[in-house]
Amino acid sequence: MAASTASHLSPPRFYVRPRSPHPPLRRSRFSPVRAAKLEAVLSIGTHLIPHPRKAASGGEDAFFANSDAGGVFAIADGVSGWAEKNVNPALFSRELMRNSSNFLNDEEVNGDPQILLMKAQAATSSIGSATVIIAVLEKTGTLKIASVGDCGLKVIRKGQVMFSISPQEHYFDCPYQISSEAVGQTYQDALVCSVNLMDGDMIVSGSDGLFDNIFDQEIISIISESSGVDEAAKALAELARKHSVDVTFDSPYSMEARSKQDQLAHWCTNFITVGGKMDDITVVVAQVKTVAIPEDEGGDVEELKGNEQGIAVAVASAEQNEE
Ligand SMILES: [Mn+2]
């Protein structure tokens, strides 16, 4: 009845809707922040819980986060095998992060996480190796990522994981790693990618201690229930920690180990295939926000759009603010 009424009231010409020659694409949802007077920044929360047996030393993960100039964060996970050679695995990861932080405003780096990694590795003199991820948000809303190994990063938008990076590993549980030794990987081996973010997007990044012990659905729940990035980072780390010491929890790590048992049997027999995986757990939660820039800076936006000068200018502004 309703349909016939509508049909009766609507002249036929209204039924002939011209089709747009360019229907909206899914990609348009990921378009960068375009508004002329807005720029993207990150609000960043972090939380680190060391391996239960490494609590006294602080563990072997290291990280830094900096909300200036849009936003940058990095995580390094010192490879624990070095302890067998009487090398403290934390020294390399900590120095790598310290150097990454130091080169942040370097002219040559210019907001490129892979170049930042190159400089940081070259400046690191400690013996050891580490997996590492560096992420830099441009003011246009593009997140640039360089990752070596199995640190993870996911982007959550409207309650769904819309972006995730894949770990790089030689074989199960032996990730690519930046190393003091020639046999290791370098910045050239990094997985390099960019993702265009929108206001409200949540980035969850962490060492393997996080993603080996927590499922996507749990991450999504915690993100949706938390009131801020600090609270979310803490809650994620605590749940991962709880699972990591739970021998009955069927963790992502155990599931993967079982699925690769055939290849493991050839070289190692003592992998856990049930329960959580005890490890250092580092969590970074970052929320993308758009902030209005002052009117008198509006004229610069056009030339910044989509190119690499964005970060350089943003860094310069941050430096000016500090003076
Ligand atoms: Mn780890």
Q: Is residue 10 part of a domain?
A: no
For residue 218, report the distance from its CA to the centre of ligand 1, in Å: 19
pLDDT of residue 32: 55
Query: How far apart are the C-alpha atoms of 89 and 62, rounded to whole Å?
Result: 11
Tracing tokens 């403290």 back to the chain, one arrives at 88
Residue 312 lies in a domain: yes
CA of 130 to the centre of ligand 1 (A): 9
- 221 within domain boundaries: no
Identify the domain containing residue 197 by its residue range.
34-207+280-320
Distance (Å, rounded) from C-alpha 267 to C-alpha 274?
19
Task: Read off the pTM.
Answer: 0.80
Q: Say how many Å lie between the CA of residue 154 and the centre of ligand 1.
A: 17
247: left (phi over 0), alpha (psi -120 to 50) or beta: alpha
**Would you state the structure tokens that stand for residue 193, as one six-digit string?**
């990618």
CA atoms within 13 A on the CB side of 284: 31
91 Cα: distance to centroid of ligand 1 (angstroms): 15
Give me ligand 1 centre to Cα 165, in Å: 16
148 belongs to a structural domain:
yes
Kindly state whether residue 245 falls inside one of the protein's structural domains. Answer: no
Q: Ligand 1 centroid to 173 CA: how many Å? A: 10
Q: pLDDT under 70 in the chain at which residues?
A: 1-36, 263-272, 295-323
Distance 280 CA to ligand 1 centre (A): 6
Q: How far is the CA of 150 from the centre of ligand 1 (A)?
A: 8
In a domain, 194, yes or no: yes
Query: How many Å lie between the centroid of ligand 1 and the Cα of residue 208?
Result: 5
Q: Is residue 265 part of a domain?
A: no
238 three-class SS: helix
Any idea what the Cα angle at residue 191 is, between residues 187 and 197, rounded to 5°?
A: 120
Compute, in angstroms, the gap from residue 40 CA to the centroid of ligand 1: 30
How far apart CA 156 and CA 12 sit, in angstroms, is: 44
130 Cα distance to chain centroid: 16
Contacts of 275 (CB under 8 A, 6+ apart): 246, 247, 248, 249, 250, 251, 254
Number of folded domains that form the chain: 1
Measured in Å, residue 259 CA sits from the centre of ligand 1 at 20
Indicate the SS3 state at residue 312: helix
Ligand 1 geometric centre to CA of 186 (Å): 19
Residue 43 lies in a domain: yes
What beta strand segments (E) does the chain contain? Answer: 38-49, 61-66, 72-78, 129-137, 142-148, 152-157, 160-164, 169-171, 174-175, 178-179, 191-196, 202-206, 281-292
**What is the CATH number for 312?**
3.60.40.10
Q: How far away, in angstroms, is 283 Cα from ligand 1 center?
A: 12
219-224, long-range: CB < 8 A, 24+ apart: 219/154, 219/156, 219/161, 220/156, 220/159, 220/160, 220/161, 223/156, 223/285, 224/159
DSSP secondary structure, 290-301, as one string: EEEPPGGGGGGH
Bridge partners, residue 289, by sequence? 41
How is residue 77 written in tokens? 């996970």
